[in-house]
Amino acid sequence: MKRTQITALGATLLLGALQLTAAQAAEDDPLDAQRKAEIDARLLLVKVHGRLTSEASQDLVDAVARARQAEPRIRYVVFELDTPGGDLKAATILRDMILGDLKSCVTAAYIPDGREARAEGLLVAFSVRRKLFVGARAQLGADASRPPSSADDEALRDALRAVAKEQGCPQYLLDAMATEDHPDIFLVVERKGAQGAEEKRFLSRSELEDRKKPGQRPLVREELIAPAKRKLVLSADDAVVRFEIARLAGDLLSVREALGLTLPDENVILLGQGVLRPASPGAQKVIDILNHSVVRFLILLVACLAALIEIKTAGSFLAGMVSVICFGVFFLAASFPTTGNVQGTASLWEIILFVIGLALLGVEFFLLPGMGIFAISGAALCAVTIVLAMVPADSSQLTSGGTMTDAVVDSLAILAYGFGGGCLFFLAVLKLFSRRAGLAGRGLVTTTTITGVSTAESALQAQAAEAALLDREGVASTLLRPAGKVQLDDGQLLDVVTDGELIEKGTRVRVIATSGGVIKVARIEGPGGR
């Protein structure tokens, strides 16, 4: 019996050791870890469109940095090019990012079908680690609109030479695409050995003459591809077939396949446009709807209306809860990326500042009523953070072709219409229900809400009605901070104010003054009072 138990224990220990060894081997297997990393990797597509400017290039650099910070799993970066060139400094900014900040990533460039990369755009195209990909009718090369032998061409040539040396690109070919100040450039084909493979090289005329001297291997073919004093522009067929400096790709999917990537669409991030396909389309659709400008306006309208009702009926908290929920939905939806943004338009700091604004309003209404400074500061802070929450962090997140100024103006309009609409609805509620007895005694609508102290048509009658309220007593039906409501002993509900004193709900008060529809009350001291 003991021998059987010992045998079973030994077998169990041996099996456990084998499993532990296998698990450790799997963890230590670099190929397995690499496969897992490949499956979990992200690809970032950066669109470089239009003329290159320093400001736009810096915006792209900042946007790429933020995207990589938000998504550390980005391992591949593809630059989609469609540019006639522009400022060399702008192209240098992008080149430095590719060779510096993105050194740990696999980078590639792609010129879609019918698009182009000219002049300074070449500096971006040939700075990437992998080959350039082009569509069937893409073009790359010189900017024909420039004057010949310009200083910009010479500076671009020097920059391209540095890239050619680092990335192993054909220097003569890049020289001809940068400037016309170059010698005749030939494409020569030679064979390595009797049955060796053919090799293509780019030579100047003088180098070609030296190559033809006796004792050299015979050339299979020679072709003048860039005559002196003439800039070079390549078609997709030239770049892919004749010179073999690019690969043909019909679309982004073809580029991904050429790079050997099997990433799902939800792992592809379009800078400024979100993921190629959301991992949760249903949830993404809800976020997109909530961030639509019309829906944002409706959310703010309901939030502002509920806030005004809560101020009017202090103590019920129901309207206040509705307002908080609406603002919460607004900020949460804005903090999530939509299919139009690589990241949400609302940041954590904006949410924190909005909460601080609400706290200042709370201090004004509940702790230090009558100060005014807290109410003004809180309302201003809330308004500013609401606008900022609707404005993208930078121009790369704009999807409608507008500017940052347009985005700010649109956000201000949404806030103004939302708050203004809330006020109009609030006044409409008071107007419609001011004569309903069922609501008149519940705090939302009082006798003086719309019509003032009385509805007398003549000034004398109004003055008499105001005078009749003097020395009348009642009970504070809400907290007076300093404004609130008082129910007189005869059941009449009035909007009143104090001299700045905070009076608790349920306290006996007396009307001490009436002027211009403003009813002022004071706490009743002594027996019957507090």
Query: In one letter, which amino acid is 14?
Result: L
Q: What CA dihedral angle connects 380, 386, 389 and 392, to 10 degrees? A: -80
Query: In one letter, which amino acid is 54?
Result: S
CA distance 513 to 161: 88
CA distance 434 to 432: 6
Whether the ω angle into residue 482 lies within 30 degrees of 0, i.e. cis, is yes
Q: What percent of the chain has pLDDT over 70?
A: 76
CA distance 306 to 327: 11
Is it the case that residue 342 has pLDDT exceeding 60? no
The token duo for 5 is: 């138990």
Band of residue 145 on the pLDDT scale cut at 50, 70, 90: confident
Q: What is the DSSP string of 353-383?
A: HHHHHHHHHHIIIIISTT--HHHHHHHHHHH
CA distance 253 to 311: 56
Q: Which of 109-118, 141-150, 203-212, 379-388 has the lowest mean pLDDT?
A: 141-150
pLDDT per residue as tens digits for the range 169-181: 888 888 888 888 8
| pLDDT, mean of residues 245-255 | 88
Is it the case that residue 467 has pLDDT exceeding 80? no
Backbone angle region of 328, left / alpha / beta, with phi > 0 → left and psi within -120 to 50 → alpha = alpha
Strands 139-141 and 116-118: parallel
Query: How far is C-alpha 41 from the chain's CA centre?
Result: 21
Tell me how far apart the terminal alpha carbons of the chain are, to the nearest angstrom: 89
In this prediction, residue 440 carries a pLDDT of 47
pLDDT per residue as tens digits for the range 370-407: 667 888 888 888 888 888 888 877 665 555 556 778 88
In this prediction, residue 445 carries a pLDDT of 47
Domain 24-169+233-274 sits in CATH 3.90.226.10 = yes
Q: Which of 3-12, 209-218, 395-404 has the lowest mean pLDDT?
A: 3-12
pLDDT per residue as tens digits for the range 126-141: 999 878 999 989 999 8
Is it the case that residue 94 has pLDDT exceeding 50? yes
Average pLDDT in the chain: 78
Q: What percent of the chain has pLDDT over 90?
A: 15
In this prediction, residue 454 carries a pLDDT of 43
Q: Which helix (H) or strand (E) holds 404?
A: helix 404-433
Domain layout of the chain by residue ranges: 24-169+233-274, 183-227, 281-432, 440-523
Is it the case that residue 39 has pLDDT exceeding 70? no
Is it the case that residue 521 has pLDDT exceeding 80? yes
CB count in 10 Å sphere of residue 99: 17
Domain 440-523 classification at class level: mainly beta
| pTM, 2 dp | 0.55
pLDDT per residue as tens digits for the range 290-330: 888 888 888 888 888 888 777 766 556 788 888 889 888 88
Do the domains 24-169+233-274 and 440-523 sit in the same CATH topology, yes or no?
no
Own/partner contacts of 298-301, CB < 8 Å, gap of 24 or more, are: 298/418, 299/326, 299/329, 299/330, 299/418, 300/326, 300/330, 300/386, 300/414, 300/415, 300/418, 300/419, 300/422, 301/417, 301/418, 301/421, 301/422, 301/425
